[in-house]
Amino acid sequence: MNLTKSTYTLIYDPLDQQVSFEGILRLVSPNDVNEIYSYLVDIHNRIQGTFRLNFRRLRYINAAGVKALSLFVKYAQVKNKLTLHIIASGVIAWSERVLPNLCQIWDKVEYTVYDHNFYKSQEIIEDGEFIPLLRNQTRIIWPLEKEVLIKHGLKKGSRVADICCGCGDTPLLISRELQPSFLLGIDHSKAAIDYARSSQKQFNINNAEFQRGDATTLMMSDNSFDFVLCRLSLQIFSQPDLILKELIRITKPGGRIYTLCEEYDTIIGYPESATIRETYRLASEYGDDMGMDLRQGKKLFNMLADAKLEDIMVDHITVDTNNANREAFSKVVESWRHFSVYTIGDSLGLTDKQKATLKAGYDAQLRTIRSPYGYTTWGMVACSGRKPIR
């Protein structure tokens, strides 16, 4: 029971008793208002309990659209039969400004912003302070990853999307060096998107665009990109398959989905091997407690195969003291040490003793990087697959 018009669709899911609004709700005539109102009233009259109105994919609503919703809430108030649950999105500019007003009409309207604290480490990762860490990581990964991206099918002239693009360094390097026809970077963090836009402007890069968005509910149409990336991000979500589903949806049939995740089980070093290994074992466990999976790399092949992607390719990307600038590598490990011991450590309430044990391996790895006789690694897995043509 859907209502489909040229710029918007209302989709009813009877399992969740939920109407999802999608597109652009620009109503013009009183008839348009009446049509939406009647559609909602009709569903209202058939169900019990809670009625959900989900606005996570509605890009715009005009005053007449708001009027249709207000009329419906007033109708529900008079009938007093259901509870209404309004679901907003933090990345849609109008949503948090307009929708709370509906709760003023009647006290049986519940309001949720879907993506406030929707994964455990959100506050930490979306903070602007995370940006220097991302930048230092890109400095040492890019020289290795560029070739991997070409091997996995990123070609000149492709339409590319980078979902969870962070502060934009990798997408802007792709724009400059691999010459896609267009690159769209999406990230949930306002600080990261502001940073990406200012870099883009500073370096005068014209074939890219950055938008705030939610990877679990992308606004882009089906089948619209040749190559879709999601780098160093699937590991922070408790339900990465929800994101993979969206990555696949926006990829053109025959296009490729490329994922990159860390694999802490492959981080090694010498001397002080045991101390380094123990720290990354502990960091993985504390990561699990924060809802992240820092050993996700080895699982990517299985995820992509399970999603029925074809021609799956896998490559290890191993940054090490031989292929990376040692100074840049040590900056990355210093950032991890700070993030892991203090940011995560405080968040999990680790004792001083636990923090000291965790810190010991980062200190040992830093000594290894700074010694001309030391060797150490940072391991990641890159895995991509082709979306079937049919």
From the CB of 274, what's the least distance to ligand SAM, in Å? 28
From the CB of 319, what's the least distance to ligand SAM, in Å? 13
Please identify, using beta-carbon distances, which residue of 73 and 140 lies nearer to ligand SAM: 140
Please identify, using beta-carbon distances, which residue of 132 and 254 lies nearer to ligand SAM: 132
Please identify, using beta-carbon distances, which residue of 58 and 215 lies nearer to ligand SAM: 215
Contacts by residues 95-101 (CB-CB < 8 Å, ≥ 24 positions apart): 95/55, 95/58, 98/61, 98/66, 99/55, 101/66, 101/70
Please identify, using beta-carbon distances, which residue of 166 and 269 lies nearer to ligand SAM: 166
From the CB of 104, what's the least distance to ligand SAM, in Å? 29
**Structural element, H or E, at residue 63:** helix 63-79
Task: Give dist(CA 162, CA 138) in Å, integer.
Answer: 14
From the CB of 48, what's the least distance to ligand SAM, in Å? 32
Buried b (16+ CB within 10 A) or exposed e, 295-331: bbbebbbebbeebebeebbebebbbbbeebebeebbb
- Here the tokens at position 62 are 């005009």
Please identify, using beta-carbon distances, which residue of 142 and 375 lies nearer to ligand SAM: 142
Tell me the residue nearest to ligand SAM as measured from the CB.
Answer: 166
DSSP letter for 341, please: I
| ∠ CA 372-269-334, rounded to 5° | 80
From the CB of 237, what's the least distance to ligand SAM, in Å? 7
Please identify, using beta-carbon distances, which residue of 17 and 340 lies nearer to ligand SAM: 340
- Here the tokens at position 314 are 């896998």
Please identify, using beta-carbon distances, which residue of 213 and 374 lies nearer to ligand SAM: 213
**Structural element, H or E, at residue 280:** helix 273-289
- Here the tokens at position 83 are 């509870």
357, 158 Cβ separation under 8 angstroms = no
From the CB of 32, what's the least distance to ligand SAM, in Å? 32
Side chain identity at 173, as an amino acid letter?
A: L
Helices (H), 99-225: 100-105, 122-125, 131-151, 169-177, 190-202
Please identify, using beta-carbon distances, which residue of 73 and 261 lies nearer to ligand SAM: 261
Task: Give dist(CA 149, CA 221) in Å, integer.
Answer: 24
From the CB of 172, what's the least distance to ligand SAM, in Å? 11
From the CB of 5, what's the least distance to ligand SAM, in Å? 28
Report whether the peptide linkage leading into residue 271 is cis, meaning its omega lies within 30 degrees of zero: yes
Distance between the two ends of the chain, CA-based, in angstroms?
Answer: 27
Please identify, using beta-carbon distances, which residue of 214 and 315 lies nearer to ligand SAM: 214
By the criterion CB under 6 A, which residues form the site for ligand SAM?
125-126, 134, 138, 164-166, 170, 186-189, 192, 213-216, 231-233, 236
Buried b (16+ CB within 10 A) or exposed e, 232-260: bbbbbbeebeebbebbbebbbeebbbbbb
From the CB of 18, what's the least distance to ligand SAM, in Å? 20
